[in-house]
Amino acid sequence: MLTKLWRWLWVIPGILISTILCGTVSQIVAMFDQSSRAQIRVARSWARSLLWIVGAKVEVEGLENVKGVQQCVWASNHVSYMDTPVMLGYIPVQFFFLAKSELFKIPFMGWHLERAGHVSVPIEDPKAALRTLAQAAKLVTERNVSVLFFPEGGRSETGELQEFKDGAAYIAIKAQVPLVPVALVGIRDILPMHTLDFKRGTVKLRFGKPIPTAGLTAQARQEITVAARAQIVDMLKWR
């Protein structure tokens, strides 16, 4: 009973208020911020506020693996709606999302995604999706940033790691930047799929070893995808 009261009197209103406030600030900042850096800072504040509201503590491991990395493709497992706040709050460099086009229709969140320059992926149209991947690679090279990609193509219903699509590897190869495997551990315990059953707890964000793509062609994307998934499988087993 107390858990339900905590959820409905504190967590849900807190998330809504933070999203509305930060979304509004992001819209105002966007009028003066051509680089999107200020908008990213607002998004980080929003993300960390949500984690604080929910009572989620984040432990980051493997930062030494990505020291000095600025341009790359982050490839992560995907099991909860809380994945995004963890990534926004704790990936140590400026990055952009590749997100399903439906997310851009959500008030405040969608407005931020569009104005901050995040990339909408029309997954229902394969040809358009491929053009979007090429656009993401161009974004990485021209703006000296990184992008985040969920290679499973969506959240895992069971929590088990699904097979990977090769879009992340395609972007990394086309941009000639490393692909960095990322593992989220414990996030499903904070917020299970298809529920609002928030729980306090600890999440581990683990960075793997960057996989170089310099000199590779698109034909190597499956090999890179397999290597990235293998690292994530291994990181998910760590205690």
3-state secondary structure labels for all residues of 59-107: EEECHHHHCCCCCCEEEECCCCCCHHHHHHHHCCCCEEEEEEHHHHHCC
Which stretches does DSSP call E strand in the chain? Answer: 56-61, 73-76, 95-100, 119-121, 146-149, 179-185, 201-207
Domain positions in the chain are 56-237
Q: What architecture (CATH level 2) is domain 56-237?
A: 3-Layer(aba) Sandwich (3.40)
What residues form DSSP beta bridges with 147?
73, 96
Most confident of 90-99, 174-183, 192-201: 174-183
Strand order across the 146-149 sheet: 56-61, 201-207, 179-185, 73-76, 146-149, 95-100, 119-121
pLDDT at 26: 83
pLDDT at 96: 86
pLDDT at 61: 97
pLDDT at 228: 98
pLDDT at 238: 83
pLDDT at 118: 74
Q: Is the confidence at residue 103, as pLDDT, over 90?
A: no
Q: What is the pLDDT of residues 32-82, one digit of tens each?
A: 877 778 888 988 999 999 999 999 999 999 999 999 998 999 999 999 989
**pLDDT band (50, 70, 90) for residue 145:** confident
Angle at 117 between CA 113 and CA 118, to 5 degrees: 55
What DSSP designation does 116 have?
A: T
Q: Say which residue, 101 or 16, is predicted with more confidence.
A: 16
The pTM of the full predicted model, rounded to 2 decimals, is: 0.89
What residues form DSSP beta bridges with 42?
none
